[in-house]
Amino acid sequence: MQEYNVIIEIDEDGNIQAETKGMKGDICISELDEILKGFEGEQSFKNKPEFYQKNKNEKNIYVKY
């Protein structure tokens, strides 16, 4: 089974940077939205090349937190 990770960094000013590893397609945005919901402030996304790739089994993706 492939491993999926989310890396979250919070700097001393309270800025949050989150990155997904092992996810392809728009599932990474969905997962980050779920994890970061409730946080206030401006959000911006920078899509990595993996965002534009399709998962073979998009319906069967499980994220390990």
Mean pLDDT across the chain, nearest whole number? 79
Question: What would the DSSP string read from start to end of 8-61?
Answer: EEE-TT--EEEEEES--TTHHHHHHHHHHTT--S-------GGGGSPPTTGGG-
* Token pair recorded at residue 8: 């979250």
Q: What is the pLDDT of residues 3-32, one digit of tens each?
A: 889 998 989 988 888 888 888 888 888 888
40: left (phi over 0), alpha (psi -120 to 50) or beta: beta
Question: 0.75 exceeded by the pTM?
Answer: no
The pLDDT score that the predictor gives to residue 12 is 92
pLDDT confidence tier of residue 42, bands split at 50, 70 and 90? confident
